[in-house]
Homo-oligomer: A and B are copies of this chain.
Amino acid sequence: MATCNIGLIGAGTVGGGVIKIFNTQKSFYQNKLGLSLVFKRIADKNTGLFNDLPVGEAICSENADDILSDEEIQIVVELVGGTTFARELVLQSLSKGKHVVTANKALIAEHGHEIFETAEENNVSVFFEAAVGGGMPVIKTIRESLLGNDIISVRTIINGTCNYILTQMSERAAEFNDVLQEAQKNGYAEADPTLDIGGGDTGHKLAILASLLYGGYAPFEKIYIEGITHITAEDIALAKSLGYCIKLLGIIKQNPTAPSTIDVRVHPCMLHTEHILASVSDVFNAVSIQGDAVGHILLYGKGAGEMPTASSVMGDIIDIARNITEGSPRRIPMDFYSAAHELAITPMASITTRYFLRFSVVDKPKVLAAITTVLGNHGISLASVMQKERSTGEFVPVIMITHEANENNLQKAIAEIERQDFIRRKTRIIRIED
């Protein structure tokens, strides 16, 4: 039985999880799968980490070059994170004919085209299941299982921090900042949570999924990204009273009104409480995929954390080891994600969806008529209107839910309405997803 030698760069949380899994499953891989895997070298700048890890016979060093220059190492597992040093490591590994496994979504989203071209040139693979959805097999399902489908839409909850915060805000009628601080204490949010709560992390994952789904490079910088920092307990309470919840969704959709473009967008959404994604709570993630043949399928699980992420990394290692052992190192083509073919992402102004609108108005006659007239002039028709009683004494909330409308028309209408003297606060706009 030929041996596959693995080098692990980054011995932090996820790296530690991978080593733990390997120690538990090693004899299963050998005896049942016929795969002889060896973690030959482990590198981390923080050499103190090696003390806490059951590294077995692996050669530990603080220098990643020890792994890159070891000609016996066939698979490099990159778990250092970031997009600078990690990018160099991955490109160098590929150039030296080593396969790469990574959990680094920012790296794949922002430098994927360069990485996959280098893999192509060197006849090796890059696997990255853990980059999207942690322990859920999202990438494999898209790249392998659903190839009999034209994918119509993908709706995702793929940031555990945001989902935890929104769930807690809803359950305890708490404000964003209070829950965020708590989440930071509990380890559910980073010390610098910007990438999560600002929606960038969800955007990275969407860029990867869109590229795989539609066979082209989805430029991250063209994805519309709106985070959850502006969502208030009042928004959530209002949504609840209408039978909705608020979730941060990552959405990919074939655009029916502009068939050559794909919607790729991240923003808070109102979902009816009976929507299957409405029941995805706290740090759980879910990906709902609609294919023309398979209909709706859903994957659900923990999208982050040491062991779920390590589970996916180990699945990738085995996939590559099988390919190496069986002599098919490039079994899954990498040109799926090609710089030569850039996807046309629908400009946000061209999307259509339903909207929840909350106006704050002075309580005087004809205000409702004035708002609905402007909306009507922009081709926006209303599904329902609700005027709440005065709450703070100063202004009155007016809630409207629209039928399908064009984003550009809606934004123009809102701008026109906000120029009126009866408007007291910025209008809250939350898109509704069916």
Hey, which bits of chain A sit against chain B, CB under 8 A? 17-18, 21, 24-25, 29, 32-34, 129, 135-137, 140-141, 144-150, 215, 276, 279, 291-302, 305, 307-308, 310-315, 318-319, 322-323, 326-328, 330-333, 335-336
Contacts and interface: CB of A to CB of B under 8 A. Distances in A.
A135 B315 contact: no
Contact of A311 (B29, B32, B291): B291
A32 B308 contact: no
Contacts of A17: 293
Given A300-B276, A300-B298, A34 B333 contact: yes
A313 B147 CA distance: 10
Nearest to A274: B279
Contacts of A149: 21, 311
Contact of A293 (B129, B146, B292, B307): B307
A322 B311 contact: no
B297 A301 contact: yes
Nearest to A280: B276
A298 B285 CA distance: 11
A301 B310 contact: no
Contacts of A150: 24-25
For the residues of A in contact with B, the DSSP-based class is mixed
Most chain B CB inside 10 Å of its own CB: which residue of A24, A291, A293, A328: A293
Contacts of A34: 333
A311 to B, nearest CB: 4
Contact of A295 (B137, B301, B335): B301
Nearest to A295: B302
A309 to B, nearest CB: 9
25 contacts: A21-B148, A24-B292, A32-B215, A32-B333, A32-B336, A33-B333, A135-B294, A140-B145, A144-B315, A144-B318, A145-B312, A148-B318, A276-B279, A291-B311, A292-B307, A295-B305, A295-B307, A298-B300, A299-B299, A323-B326, A323-B328, A326-B326, A326-B328, A326-B330, A327-B328
Nearest to A147: B318
For the complex of A and B, list the 10 residue pairs with the smallest distance between their C-beta atoms, beginning with the closest: A148-B314, A326-B328, A297-B301, A137-B145, A135-B294, A328-B328, A293-B311, A298-B300, A294-B311, A293-B307
Given A215-B32, A332-B322, A148 B25 contact: yes
A18 B147 CA distance: 12
Copies of this chain, tallied across the complex: 2
Most chain B CB inside 10 Å of its own CB: which residue of A145, A215, A291: A145
A66 B315 CA distance: 40
Contact of A279 (B21, B279, B307): B279
A315 B276 contact: no
Contacts of A310: 148, 293
B336 A331 contact: no
A336 B145 CA distance: 20
A148 B293 contact: no
Given A17-B293, A333-B34, A137 B137 contact: yes
B279 A135 contact: no
A69 to B, nearest CB: 28
A382 B296 CA distance: 41
A331 B30 CA distance: 15
A137 B298 CA distance: 10
Nearest to A129: B145
A343 to B, nearest CB: 14
